[in-house]
Amino acid sequence: MHSLYLRSFYVFLITGCCFLYSCNKGFTDYYQPESTLSNSILGILEEKGDYDLFLSLVDRANLRKSLSESAIYTCLAPRNAFVEAYFIDRLKYSSLEQVPLTALRNYVNYHFINGMYYMYDLEKRYTSTESLINKSRMTNYKTRTEGKDVGKSLRIITPSFFSVQGSDFDFMYGDKDKGGYYVEGVKISDTERDIDARNGVVHILDEPLFPTLRTDLALAGDPDLSLFSKWIEKHAQFTLGAVDQYGNVDTTLYKNFSFGRNLADENTLSTLFAPTNQAIADYFEPYMDIIDNTLDSVPQHVMYSLIRSSIHANLWYHSDLVRNQPQWSALTGFISFGNPALESIVGFTPSSNSFIYKTNKVMESPEMSSVRSGIMMLYKRYGQWFWMFTNRGLGSGIVDPLFYQHTPTTLLVQSDEVWGSPFAQDMDALTLEARLNEARTGIFHFDAYTDGGFKKRFYPTDQGYILYDNNKFYDYSGHSVNLLTPDPVWTKPTGSIFEIDGFLTPLDRLDPEITVWKKMEANADLSTFRALIEKATMVGELQLTGFFTYSVFAPSNAAFAAAEINVSTISAQDAKNLVNRHIVTNRYLFTDGVFEGQLANKRGEYLSFSGAWDTFKVQFQNNTGQADAAKSNVQGSNGVLHVINKVL
């Protein structure tokens, strides 16, 4: 039995060895490494020759020990001529001795990727990833980080990338021979790669690899994007580093930006639709008189809004944008609904932490495509409205950041001169709240301009209905203000802005002193209808404010007399039935003739409405009541009162 086990063990051992040998053979057949495991990456470069200049940079930067012993790296090795091509030919130093130490270290670190990646590993990362968007993200690698100098991101392109996303390579790097392996459009040698080292692997470059600039610097370096770069820099800010455990402050000034994404951080990856200088000039050409005929006078808050609409999180190859549209969005929302973003792309600017697509259109933000844009552009004249928009939520709901489907809106605004003093920022809380509601009374949920201008009608607002008649606007109290010009001072497809010479009175929907019952109490011609309501015990209901609102069609005293109805002789139930016949739930103003049709009263019976102003009628079965235009459309906190000349 023992010998049987022994024989079985030997058979298993021999089989296993054969299996391991066959696996090892397949592995080495693929890699075909040079046997240099006893040497470090730098030692290999010394043995091969033609890398003296790169090694001299390593020594000057005091990085030899770190790059030989401290970690595992993938080295993208540049020949002597490539080092000179960068520092001498491109950066115009007369000698390498003149190059600052920081620039040397950054160049060296750019040629070392954290981790060990053979060609097989690079290809497998791409092919083993399932979704196409994740395949794109797998092309991204991080170079060596040293202290405060954060490593840069670079893209390594493998053969499978060319078969799936070859158009992206052409778009970013131009027309080159496809195939093999590339790093940022630079060819990796087909014959000198996968060189094993004690602390990693070496791939020899066939061309110079120049370190790419981070986003803000890349924008500054492209003459076509100089205006957009200025916009970006106007929102730059600098902060000190952190405090260590001993209380020492890192006095390095770190750059960031106020618009919500730090383009100066190598770890923050973004995609930009950067408008060219011509695109910016074309966008603002209609508004040059507003901005003093110079693009330098574009309001900073407008720049802020348009910058945010140009920036997207993460890196998106061109094919990813096409494939995922409209599932990608800017900081302000889905810009594809505001502009044909993809069709506007005219070029590409390389950057380490961004894909920068140059566009021939400004990516218009949701707020700049809404009527709110007029307040933003005309802020010098309507500064108080701008302040209230920015700090107190005035105009909430005007902008839809998700789908650009803005609510049609008309703004009636006052200039700062009409606004008077104190300005909003100097008001106490109660005065500011009152002024906020006065301003909201001038926001119509209706675009008067596209309707052909203002007509004699009631316009809905959150603070009650506003009547327009003969260049005047009347609020619920009868107070009026003047329309200064029939032409809007600003128009957008979703709205318009007109200027008025004062403030309208907001309707307080919770005020118990202006209910429909109080409005009836103030009218002596409705004493009989009031007595009917009291007999029906419905005063409390018509006095309630808050959730329910009513439209009351109140017959005059003469109407009751004509109908020969004696309130004192009918029962409470009959009184309630008759009152409810004259009440429609919700708030309706009719005499402008906007509505014609049927509505159910509180008894479930249908009332028919027709006519306008002096011809306005309400009908139930064969009874038709004519409205008194002078006494109808009386707005209260919980509804509207209409006086009619017949009992229904």
Report pLDDT for 167: 93
Q: What is the pTM of this model?
A: 0.84
Residue 360 pLDDT greater than 70, yes or no: yes
175 within some domain: yes
Per-residue tokens: 509:
């929907």
570 shares a domain with 450: no
Q: Are 279 and 362 in contact (CB under 8 A)?
A: yes
Q: What is the dihedral of CA 309, 311, 316, 318, to 10 degrees?
A: 50
75 shares a domain with 152: yes
Neighbours of 513 (CB within 10 A): 9
* DSSP E strand stretches across 164-316: 182-183, 186-187, 195-197, 200-204, 236-240, 253-257, 270-275, 311-313
Better pLDDT: 479 or 13: 479
33 within some domain: no
379 within some domain: yes
Report pLDDT for 69: 85
pLDDT band at 334 (very low <50, low <70, confident <90, very high): confident
- How many distinct structural domains can be found in the chain? 4
pLDDT band at 331 (very low <50, low <70, confident <90, very high): confident
323 within some domain: yes
Of 477, 446, 479, whose CA–CA distance to 460 is shortest? 446
pLDDT band at 125 (very low <50, low <70, confident <90, very high): very high
342 shares a domain with 307: yes
Per-residue tokens: 186:
């630079």
Chain centroid to Cα 153, Å, comes to 26
399 shares a domain with 325: no
Q: Checking DSSP bridges between strand 550-555 and strand 639-644, what pairing results, if any? A: parallel
Residue 529 pLDDT greater than 50, yes or no: yes
Better pLDDT: 53 or 327: 53
Report pLDDT for 27: 43
Report pLDDT for 595: 79
Distance from C-alpha of 129 to C-alpha of 139, rounded to nearest angstrom: 11
Whether residue 422 is preceded by a cis peptide bond, meaning omega within 30 degrees of 0, is: yes
Whether residue 33 is preceded by a cis peptide bond, meaning omega within 30 degrees of 0, is: no
CATH of the domain at 400: 2.30.180
Of 119, 105, 41, whose CA–CA distance to 73 is shortest? 41
Helix (H) or strand (E) holding 280: helix 277-284
Of 457, 452, 455, 453, whose CA–CA distance to 467 is shortest? 457
263 shares a domain with 187: no
165 shares a domain with 54: yes
62 shares a domain with 169: yes
Report pLDDT for 301: 94
Q: What one-character-per-residue DSSP string does 393-405 give? A: -TTTTS--TTT--
Better pLDDT: 111 or 147: 111
Distance from C-alpha of 458 to C-alpha of 456, rounded to nearest angstrom: 7
Distance from C-alpha of 290 to C-alpha of 292, rounded to nearest angstrom: 6
Report pLDDT for 118: 97
Give the contacts of 361 (CB within 8 A, at least 6 positions apart). Answer: 275, 279, 282, 283, 339, 340, 344
Report pLDDT for 396: 84
325 within some domain: yes
Of 334, 359, 384, which one is at a domain's C-terminal end?
Answer: 359
What number is the average pLDDT over the span 319-324?
90
| Cα dist from 140 to 161, 182, 214, 315, whole Å | 12, 12, 15, 9
Distance from C-alpha of 489 to C-alpha of 498, rounded to nearest angstrom: 6
219 shares a domain with 194: no
Q: What is the DSSP letter of 35?
A: S
Alpha helices by DSSP H, listed for 98-225, are 101-110, 119-127, 132-137, 159-173, 215-220
Average pLDDT of every residue of the chain: 90
Of 448, 477, 499, which one is at a domain's C-terminal end?
Answer: 499
Residue 20 pLDDT greater than 70, yes or no: no
Distance from C-alpha of 146 to C-alpha of 363, rounded to nearest angstrom: 37
pLDDT band at 337 (very low <50, low <70, confident <90, very high): confident
Residue 298 pLDDT greater than 60, yes or no: yes
Of 109, 349, 355, whose CA–CA distance to 209 is shortest? 109
Percentage of the residues of the chain whose pLDDT score is greater than 90: 77
Residue 450 pLDDT greater than 60, yes or no: yes
319 shares a domain with 184: no
What number is the average pLDDT over the span 620-630?
89
Helix (H) or strand (E) holding 528: helix 527-535
Distance from C-alpha of 345 to C-alpha of 606, rounded to nearest angstrom: 58
Report pLDDT for 74: 97
417 within some domain: yes
544-571 pLDDT tens trace: 998 889 999 999 999 999 999 999 999 9
4 within some domain: no
Percentage of the residues of the chain whose pLDDT score is greater than 70: 93
376 shares a domain with 353: no
253-270 pLDDT tens trace: 789 999 999 999 999 999
Distance from C-alpha of 345 to C-alpha of 275, rounded to nearest angstrom: 9
Helix (H) or strand (E) holding 76: strand 73-77
Query: What values do phi and psi take at 477, rounded to 5?
Result: -85, -5
Of 314, 331, 359, which one is at a domain's C-terminal end?
Answer: 359
Q: Are 502 and 415 in contact (CB under 8 A)?
A: no
SS (H, E, C) 450-513: CCCCCCCEEEEECCEEEEEECCEEECCCCCEEEECCCCCCEEECCEEEEEECCCCCCCCCCCHH
What number is the average pLDDT over the span 296-320?
94
pLDDT band at 594 (very low <50, low <70, confident <90, very high): confident
Please give the single-letter amino acid code of residue 340.
P
Report pLDDT for 518: 96
562 shares a domain with 473: no
Residue 141 pLDDT greater than 50, yes or no: yes
Q: Are 496 and 371 in contact (CB under 8 A)?
A: yes
Q: Are 444 and 459 in contact (CB under 8 A)?
A: yes
127 within some domain: yes
Report pLDDT for 532: 96
581 shares a domain with 484: no
Report pLDDT for 10: 39
pLDDT band at 326 (very low <50, low <70, confident <90, very high): low
Which range marks the domain in which residue 450 is found? 372-499
Residue 128 pLDDT greater than 70, yes or no: yes
What number is the average pLDDT over the span 506-528?
95
End-to-end, the C-alpha distance of the chain in Å comes to: 112
216-249 pLDDT tens trace: 999 999 999 999 999 999 999 988 777 766 777 6
CATH of the domain at 640: 2.30.180.10
- 438 CB burial (10 A radius; 0-12, 13-18, 19+): middle
Of 118-127, 270-279, 362-371, least confident by mean pLDDT is 362-371
Better pLDDT: 281 or 330: 281
pLDDT band at 321 (very low <50, low <70, confident <90, very high): very high
Whether residue 326 is preceded by a cis peptide bond, meaning omega within 30 degrees of 0, is: yes
Chain centroid to Cα 336, Å, comes to 11
Residue 527 pLDDT greater than 50, yes or no: yes
What number is the average pLDDT over the span 509-531?
95
Distance from C-alpha of 626 to C-alpha of 233, rounded to nearest angstrom: 67
